[in-house]
């Protein structure tokens, strides 16, 4: 079958990557063998076992047939162990560190990501299985890993919400290329190997903590401590050197792969401008840094996530030691393909950033009261329109009741799927589900859960979407029961607008002396709630130690209960803080 030039490049690169992978394994084998040889020989010298080997001088020790045979065997075993360790644990460790979750198909934005992955598979004509994970963090970055044939792409919550669909598509196409051309497999193995070395090296000098001997080759016996310590030092030196070489090999193969992946992503999506925009946003976002990752894993990401990165600088030294090419160079290449002037692009971007910043900083320059008032003024008009548009009358027991806002309709106990509804200001009357299809949950009332706060008074939980994420809300007291892992998702999104009342109460809460109280019981001493799912007592705690909002948590079911307006309160504080940071 004939192939296009682009395809032949692709296969060539894939072949090269496989070759590099083999070279790396051989390299590891040599390093391990040398390490064992060195450690065996030095141990003999230090412990004085020369007599056992009939080797009385240094020459006999270093050219001993036993060492020469045993060191490669041990090296081979350790290489094999390293390979299987990386395959089995490296990936799992990374997922655990990042607290990554599988995407929730019921969540609008997560579903969008899954759809985009399907689209890219079609564009590439490849049907390989790719798993997606979502990192519950506000940073904006994306990574891919391939260990033991398990291909994976991870995105942060911040990226999913803040980036447009086209931009996410371009980024995922870029990562997809890394996965299918073998880059990801090689880089994943290098990262995992590097972590393995680092863990050993750090372990050598680990101090005795909590009464446990956590250090590598740690010894309580003072006489032997010196000799063991000396061994540790030697091992540390060898391992550190090997780690540095591995890191260096990582650097050599890193730079061009990103340019190639960018081009291949453009070939799939035919949208170079979307990728340029996405890279610009990642570069601009201060939050893309500090993912809380070990430096070893940073090569897996589309842009270097650590602070103090040298990637953005050019020059011989920087080219040698950086894992990613400068974002600016990548963006410029993409702009050339898009036929867009580089000057014009940056001018427009900087103007856009300036206007955004101006809008954000305006209210923060004023006092808290003024900020609430200015938001009031901005939203008053909008709220009035919303109130008019979203007010409904409900027909109950021969009478029209209302007007109710849509949110208030959830708390009406008598509301049924066939209840008649009238939109305020119009003559139209229709059945509830015809006018408001989102109330379809009322059709299966039997599956409702009792509210932990007002369940005894008839309060029940209904499944609704809040900030496009599935949550459970009490129809009576308006509290929310949310999976603890999903909270970061909600806090990251700001589709829901705050009412004037909510802003005022949040500002007064921020100023109130209640926040000076340090014990949860001083905030809320009511009886502990029972989890509606497992029936166990929920614990009462602060959501965080910045806002002092008290929530109830079930540690068994991993659920968090927010009383009425508590979730909005936390959302308000988080949004305010993030706008201040920006």
Partner 1 sequence: MTVFLIVLGIFVLLCIGIILYCIGIYNNIIGLKNQSENSWSQIKIQLNRRYDLIPNLVEAVKGYLKHESETLEKVIKARNIAAGSANISDNIKNENMLTGALKSLFMVMENYPELKANQNVMHLQEELVSTENKIAFSRQLYNDSAMQFNTLIQSFPQNLIANAFNFKQFDFFNVESEDVLKRPEVKF
Distance CA 410, CA 402 (A): 13
List, in sequence order, every residue forming a beta bridge with 146; answer none if it has no partner.
151
Distance CA 560, CA 540 (A): 10
Minimum CB separation from partner 1 for residue 517, in Å? 38
Contacting residues toward partner 1, per CB under 8 A: 1-2, 4, 108, 111-112, 115-116, 118-120, 122-123, 125, 165, 169, 268, 270, 273, 277, 340, 345, 348-349, 352, 389, 434-435, 437-438, 465, 468
- Residue closer to partner 1 by CB (options 107, 333) is 107
Minimum CB separation from partner 1 for residue 435, in Å? 7
- Residue closer to partner 1 by CB (options 345, 548) is 345
- Residue closer to partner 1 by CB (options 88, 165) is 165
Where helices occur in 86-221 by DSSP H, the ranges are 91-98, 108-124, 157-162, 165-180, 183-204
Minimum CB separation from partner 1 for residue 339, in Å? 9
- Residue closer to partner 1 by CB (options 215, 272) is 272
Sheet containing 399-405, strands listed edge to edge, beginning at the edge strand earlier in sequence:
399-405, 391-396, 420-423, 429-431
Q: At what angle do helices 165-180 and 272-284 cross, to 10 degrees?
A: 100
- Residue closer to partner 1 by CB (options 217, 273) is 273
DSSP state of 423: E
Minimum CB separation from partner 1 for residue 13, in Å? 19
Length of the chain: 582
C-alpha 468: how far from chain center: 18
Nearest to 474, CA basis, from 483, 484, 464: 464
- Residue closer to partner 1 by CB (options 211, 437) is 437
C-alpha atoms less than 13 angstroms from C-alpha of 179 in its C-beta half-sphere: 31
- Residue closer to partner 1 by CB (options 245, 442) is 442
Minimum CB separation from partner 1 for residue 465, in Å? 5
- Residue closer to partner 1 by CB (options 29, 393) is 393
Minimum CB separation from partner 1 for residue 380, in Å? 17
Distance CA 448, CA 465 (A): 16
Distance CA 465, CA 460 (A): 16
Minimum CB separation from partner 1 for residue 436, in Å? 9
Distance CA 413, CA 397 (A): 13
Q: Identify the residue whose tokens are 């240094």.
A: 58
- Residue closer to partner 1 by CB (options 273, 481) is 273
Minimum CB separation from partner 1 for residue 479, in Å? 20
- Residue closer to partner 1 by CB (options 139, 273) is 273
Contact 556, 531 (CB under 8 A): yes
Distance CA 191, CA 87 (A): 12
Cα–Cα distance list, 65 to 51, 75, 515 (Å): 15, 16, 73
Nearest to 228, CA basis, from 240, 239, 215: 215
In whole angstroms, how large is the CA radius of gyration of the chain?
A: 30
Strand pairing class (420-423; 399-405): unpaired
Cα–Cα distance list, 233 to 30, 33, 236 (Å): 20, 18, 5
- Residue closer to partner 1 by CB (options 358, 527) is 358
Minimum CB separation from partner 1 for residue 301, in Å? 24
- Residue closer to partner 1 by CB (options 216, 345) is 345
Strand pairing class (449-450; 391-396): unpaired
Minimum CB separation from partner 1 for residue 312, in Å? 21
Minimum CB separation from partner 1 for residue 417, in Å? 15
Minimum CB separation from partner 1 for residue 107, in Å? 10
Minimum CB separation from partner 1 for residue 299, in Å? 29
3-state secondary structure of 494: coil
Cα–Cα distance list, 371 to 365, 375, 496, 531 (Å): 8, 6, 19, 38
- Residue closer to partner 1 by CB (options 187, 261) is 261
Token pair for residue 119? 């689209």
Minimum CB separation from partner 1 for residue 334, in Å? 13
If DSSP states are collapsed to H, E and C, what string results for 158-180?
HHHHHCCHHHHHHHHHHHHHHHH
- Residue closer to partner 1 by CB (options 1, 52) is 1
CA-based torsion, 164, 166, 169, 174: positive or negative: negative
């Amino acid at each position: 079958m004939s192939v296009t030039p682009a395809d032949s490049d692709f296969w060539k690169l894939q072949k090269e990557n496989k070759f590099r992978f083999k070279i790396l394994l051989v390299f590891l084998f040599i390093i391990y063998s040398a390490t064992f040889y060195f450690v065996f020989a030095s141990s003999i010298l230090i412990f004085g076992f020369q007599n056992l080997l009939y080797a009385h001088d240094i020459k006999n020790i270093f050219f001993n047939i036993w060492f020469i045979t045993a060191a490669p065997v041990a090296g081979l075993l350790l290489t094999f162990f390293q390979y299987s360790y990386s395959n089995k644990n490296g990936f799992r460790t990374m997922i655990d560190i990042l607290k990554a979750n599988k995407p929730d198909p019921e969540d609008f934005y997560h579903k969008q990501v899954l759809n985009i992955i399907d689209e890219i598979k079609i564009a590439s004509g490849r049907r390989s299985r790719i798993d997606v994970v979502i990192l519950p963090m506000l940073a904006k970055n994306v990574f891919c890993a391939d260990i033991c044939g398990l291909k994976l792409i991870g995105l942060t919550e911040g990226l999913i919400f803040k980036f447009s669909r086209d931009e996410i598509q371009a980024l995922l196409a870029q990562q997809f290329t890394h996965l299918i051309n073998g880059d990801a497999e090689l880089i994943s193995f290098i990262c995992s190997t590097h972590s393995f070395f680092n863990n050993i090296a750090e372990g050598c000098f680990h101090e005795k903590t909590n009464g446990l001997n956590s250090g590598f080759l740690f010894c309580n016996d003072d006489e032997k401590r010196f000799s063991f310590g000396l061994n540790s030092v030697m091992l540390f030196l060898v391992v550190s050197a090997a780690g540095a070489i591995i890191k260096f090999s990582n650097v050599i193969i890193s730079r061009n792969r990103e340019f190639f992946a960018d081009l291949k992503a453009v070939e799939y999506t035919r949208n170079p401008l979307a990728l340029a925009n996405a890279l610009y946003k990642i570069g601009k976002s201060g939050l893309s840094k500090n993912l809380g990752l070990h430096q070893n894993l940073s090569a897996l990401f589309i842009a270097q996530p650590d602070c103090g990165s040298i990637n953005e600088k050019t020059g011989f030294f920087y080219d040698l030691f950086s894992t990613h090419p400068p974002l600016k160079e990548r963006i410029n290449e993409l702009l050339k393909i898009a036929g867009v002037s580089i000057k014009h692009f940056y001018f427009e971007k900087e103007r856009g950033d300036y206007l955004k910043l101006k809008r954000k900083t305006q209210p923060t320059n004023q006092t808290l009261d003024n900020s609430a008032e200015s938001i009031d003024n901005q939203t008053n008009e909008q709220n009035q329109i919303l109130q008019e548009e979203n007010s409904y009358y409900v027909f109950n027991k021969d009478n029209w009741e209302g007007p109710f806002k849509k949110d208030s309709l959830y708390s009406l106990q008598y509301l049924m799927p066939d209840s008649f509804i009238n939109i305020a200001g119009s003559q139209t009357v229709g059945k509830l589900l015809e006018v408001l299809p989102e109330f379809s949950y009322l059709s299966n009332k039997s599956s409702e859960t009792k509210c932990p706060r007002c369940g005894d008074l008839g309060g029940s939980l209904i499944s609704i979407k809040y900030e496009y994420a599935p949550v459970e809300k009490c129809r009576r007291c308006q509290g929310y029961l949310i999976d603890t892992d999903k909270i970061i998702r909600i806090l990251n999104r700001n589709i829901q607008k705050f009412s004037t009342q909510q802003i005022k109460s949040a500002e007064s809460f921020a100023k109130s002396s209640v926040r000076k109280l340090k014990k949860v019981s001083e905030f809320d001493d009511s009886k502990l709630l029972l989890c509606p799912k497992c029936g166990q007592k929920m614990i009462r705690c602060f959501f965080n130690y910045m806002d002092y909002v008290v929530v109830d948590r079930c540690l068994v079911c991993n659920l968090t209960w927010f009383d009425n307006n508590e979730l909005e309160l936390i959302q308000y504080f988080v949004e305010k803080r993030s706008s201040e940071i920006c």
